[in-house]
Amino acid sequence: MRPGPRQPWSLPDRGPLNINPGASPLSNQKPASGDLCSGQVIEYLQNNQPLVAWILEVQPSRVRALNVNQREIKLARSRLLPWTGPVHPSDLSRQQTLDLLQQHHQTRRSIQEAIELLEVWSMAQGEIDRASVDWFAGLVWEDPDPDRVAALGRAMLQARAYFKFVPPDFEVHSSRVVGKKLEEERSSREKERLVSIGREFFKDLFASLVRSAAPPQLPDPYVADRLRELLVRRVKDPDDSQTQEVWTKITTGLPQDPHLPFLLARGWGIYPRHYNFLLVQADYSWEDDWSQAHQEEIEAIKRKLSAHPDSPGLEDLISIDSSSTKDIDDAFSVREHSSGYSLRLALAGPGLFWTFGSGLDRAAAHRASSLYLPEGKSDMLPRVLAEDLFSLNQGLVRPALVLEFELDLQGRIKTFEPRLDRVLVRANRTYLEVEEDLAQNRDASLTSALKLASLLRSKRLEQGAVIIDQIEPVIRLQEADQDVLVHLEDSQACPGAQLIVSELMLLCNSILALWSMDRGIPLLYRTQDIVLPKEYSGVWDRPEDIYQVIRALGATLTETVPRPHRSIGVSAYASVTSPLRRYLDLVNQAQIASVLQGRQPPLDSDDLEKLLPYLNARAGLVGRIQKFRPRYWKLLYFKQQGKGAVWSGVVVDNSGPVVIALPREQILIRAGHEIFGGKTRIGQVFRLRLGKVDPLNNEIHVLEAWEE
């Protein structure tokens, strides 16, 4: 049932239309349904807008008509809108016809402006799903004339949120559909406004960057907020599909720079000059604020730690780290005797108290690893855990995974036993301190540790290990005049101390992998199961050799099935030694610790297999920061030195573009053969002058080269 007739709006009765003064009024009656005749007023859609016209001639499948814009056209009957009339004499002059069409057009527009479509929809919604325009007109007027019907039809065509035109009828949208469509219309209007204002603003903003001028002002705070949100979102995900359409329109005419969102955001003051946008793209929180959401779990871990005895089961350990290290995750002691070596290794023990599936666990997995960058360090775990409660700080008793080895005089393992214990580290030593002690032969235990490490390395080399010996420079940053000055300094070589640490950790990870395999403990293994020619085994320190060897090695994989790791020279390898810094190590330690506690591992092989794609993805994103951020600072260093600086490089590849390695700066540069005179040989040394350097886009160009 439909509501009865009503007169909801005050609309003046215009009466019949007059052709001209003195002419007789004609019938405004509509012709019978389906009938068309000359002199009849019709409407059709042109560019999605109703246009009024006058039938001049009726043909079987179409009509010839004169529209209100004074154009004669031929229209298929299917193009006519389902409201026709009135009918006027067919023998009027062209001007009389046009005047009459204009009157109908103006009348219909006036009526349309007065119609309240929301009331029409409210009366129809719930009564019917679909009806003709005449039916809807009957809701509004008792006896609607053709102009009123046409005006309502026009209004309903425009009200797409409420009605859908399905010729010859209109469908009535439900409240749910109306709400959705109104939101779409609002969003569309907002986008149009955003594009209109944003295009000009971004153009002015980019121009200010080029001129190094102050950014323009945007007085509309709403639009400013939306544009900021757009830039932040595009910085986080340059390929964001939901903002792609708006971004494409709004940046029309601007350079197609992959870092355009960041450049604009930086120029607008959203980010500082050297902001690490890679953190945003990896969704990695640099500060420790993220840990505040996990205080309850942190307090629970504190209570578990306090419930354990403070008396250590192992003492007289030392650690070796850089002077800035605060998250100390390994310590050792070595005693040499007549039949070989007694080795004790202690690994910081967060895995002994870890709960998989908790909020803290998910957050640590998301962070994947700690970051060590020139601008500072960000811990994988909450700082209180990484640098205090689990860190093997000297003089403090800490829980640990302890590994006890007995090795013979050739460095072969005679016995091995892992256990969980409390340990006390006697001293936290630095690489430089240990290197000085080794040089002066001041500590017998360190001398023994170096002898053992040398034996272990020799054994790995016999197994085909590939050892890369290169020293990264120290990157130091200095704040100056609202900018950052970059300094590259030579690292102090500590070969003995570094050999001790690296070989003991490699031993630990390889033996724990084998021990766990024998007991069926599911772990995450690092594998490199490739065919490596014998000639690649050895210690490599020349840039050209390092480049060729690394290209031949292939990628290292993380898998749940143990396989050889050829470049390390072991048959199985599971990373366990850095549970404070790498989530992979934390998982493996927790698996081993559960078995040592007499429990089943918390994750079975299927669990690890399901977890692996996520861990690999997160490790890739976080590893990208660790790889490219130091390179950014190196390129900024080159840029700050200017085009007059001269650099020394070695040709390491000339099969395509010439690849030059700068040994001191530890960076590779590519250039065309013409820069080097057309001919080069591997190992050839050149002096270089650099041209354009773009740290943000990772670009560095060679301006000139001459043989040294």
Separation CA 216–CA 230 (nearest Å): 17
Looking at per-residue pLDDT, the higher value among 3 and 566 belongs to: 566
| DSSP character string of 659-699 | EEEETTTTEEEEE-GGGGTT---TT-EEEEEEEEEETTTTE
pLDDT tens digit sequence for 245-262: 999 999 999 998 999 999
Where do the domains of the chain lie?
Answer: 41-173, 177-271, 288-628, 643-707
Q: How confident is the model at residue 4 (pLDDT cuts 50, 70, 90)?
A: very low
Pair of tokens at residue 109? 């527009």
Q: Which residue has the higher pLDDT, 361 or 307?
A: 361
Mean pLDDT over 130-159 rounds to 94
153-208 residue pLDDT tens: 999 999 998 999 999 999 999 999 999 988 888 888 888 889 999 999 999 999 99
Pick the CATH number of 643-707 from 3.30.565.10, 3.40.50.720, 2.40.50.140, 3.40.640.10: 2.40.50.140
Supply the pLDDT for residue 310: 79
Residues 6+ apart with CB under 8 A from 611: 365, 587, 603
Identify the pLDDT of residue 219.
87
Q: What is the pLDDT of residue 678?
A: 86
Binned at pLDDT 50, 70 and 90, residue 34 comes out as low
Mean pLDDT to the nearest integer, 318-327: 96
User: For residue 277, which amino acid is it?
Assistant: F
Above 50 in pLDDT, residue 413?
A: yes
- Three-state secondary-structure class, residue 669: strand
Helix-strand-coil split of the chain, %, nearest 5:
40, 25, 35
Q: How far is CA 149 from the centre of its chain?
A: 55
Residue of 522, 602, 587, 631 whose CA lies nearest to 380: 587
Q: In terms of residues, how long is the chain? A: 708
Question: Tens digits of per-residue pLDDT, 61-79?
Answer: 999 999 999 999 999 999 9
Return mean pLDDT, the chain: 92
